[in-house]
Amino acid sequence: MREVRYWQALNEALREELDRDPDVFVMGEDVGIYGGAYGVTKGLYEDYGEERIRDTAISEQVIVGAAVGAAMTGMRPVAEIMYVDFLGVAMDQIFNQAAKIRYMFGGKAKVPMTLRTQGGTGRGLAAQHSQSLESWFLHVPGLKVVMPSTPYDAKGLLKAAIRDDNPVLFIEHKMLYGTKGMIPDGEYIVPLGLADVKRPGSDVTVVAHSRMLLYALEAAETLEKEGISVEVIDPRTLAPLDMDTIMTSVKKTGRVVLVEEGCKTGGVGGEIATRIMEEGFYYLDAPIIRVAAKDVPIPMSPALEPLAVPSVQEIIDAVKKLYV
């Protein structure tokens, strides 16, 4: 095992897949000579050349459309859209084309495309560059949605996404790139659709993804000192969602807090809460609590931005409410 940063884990995943499969290539704005907005593609252009590491025009429609076409004709493109906020420009290519082609052609055509992008707050980039829009894409059958929270998961999940024969939306939180974690020296894959119990506990289940997973772990550590044992689950893949792991925990604890950085209305937490109610209402000893972003555009102000999204203290307070 060795310690790497989140961005380095992603870079390693790309290198290993580029070496393994000649059909894999990377494309997007500034992914080549510049090395990516957050350094994820650093050094790839020099090592693999412009044919496989392609800088594109500043056009989300072109990037996604070209990736869909390349995937349909046998390639495995890894396309990057600089910020999840810009996916709206290419929505037709994503939800009407990439996600539906395999089904509409009866499996005779497929779209093995990975679409990398960045989401979340923390850098003061204002309302058009700081959103958490993952819940939009949970409503699109045929599209897989992945959000890794650790370097280990980032590498393993990206490799799995690139090898998948379906389109995968791979959302990286911009504040996780510098975080550190341990990964094995050898190759490994983290299967899509498999949640992970990041911290075992017995009193409360907290489900959190992406950067909120780190907040949940910090909250759990604090609560442990107060005698409350928190089990923290990271879905890792939001579509498909591993409800078996979540429900196993709910049966054990009987109390649930759902945490996300996206807005509460129409959010990921609402979907998970509903499925818990459908599949395990009688296991609950208290109402489900959601901790999510306020239903407001993300402020640019360094003083206001943190107030728009969940904090560690909000998670702690939510868990304590279950015992009132």
Q: Which residues contact 232 (CB under 8 A, 6 or more apart)?
A: 197, 198, 199, 201, 206, 208, 213, 216, 217, 220
Q: Among the options 129, 231, 261, 305, which is catalytic?
A: 129
Whether residue 60 lies in the annotated active site: yes
Q: Name which of 171, 125, 124 is nearest 146 in CA terms.
A: 171
Instruction: Give the per-residue pLDDT at 229.
Output: 98
Residues 164 and 219 in one domain: no
* CATH for 277: 3.40.50.920
Instruction: Give the per-residue pLDDT at 323.
Output: 82
Number of structural domains in the chain = 2
Residue 189 lies in a domain: no
Residues 221 and 259 in one domain: yes
Residues 136 and 265 in one domain: no
Q: Name which of 61, 54, 95, 59 is nearest 77 in CA terms.
A: 54
Residue 200 lies in a domain: yes
Residues 164 and 215 in one domain: no
| Cβ(182)–Cβ(38) below 8 Å | no
Q: Name which of 1, 258, 50, 46 is nearest 155 in CA terms.
A: 1
Q: What is the DSSP string of 293-311?
A: E-SSPPP-STTTHHHHS--
| Among 183, 217, 235, residue at a domain's last position | 183
Structural domain including 7 reads: 2-183
Instruction: Give the per-residue pLDDT at 324.
Output: 66
Tokens at 65, concatenated: 């459309």
Q: What is the pTM of this model?
A: 0.97
| Among 149, 183, 217, residue at a domain's last position | 183
Residue 188 lies in a domain: no
Residue 170 lies in a domain: yes
Phi, psi of 200 (to 5 degrees): -75, 150
Residues 87 and 120 in one domain: yes
CA distance linking residue 165 with residue 111, whole number of Å:
6
Whether residue 129 lies in the annotated active site: yes
CA distance linking residue 96 with residue 185, whole number of Å:
40
Question: Running along the chain, 324 residues long, what does each successive block of 10 average in pLDDT?
Answer: 97 98 98 96 98 97 98 98 97 97 96 98 96 97 98 98 98 98 96 98 98 98 97 98 98 98 98 97 97 97 96 98 85
Q: Among the options 12, 17, 29, 60, which is catalytic?
A: 60
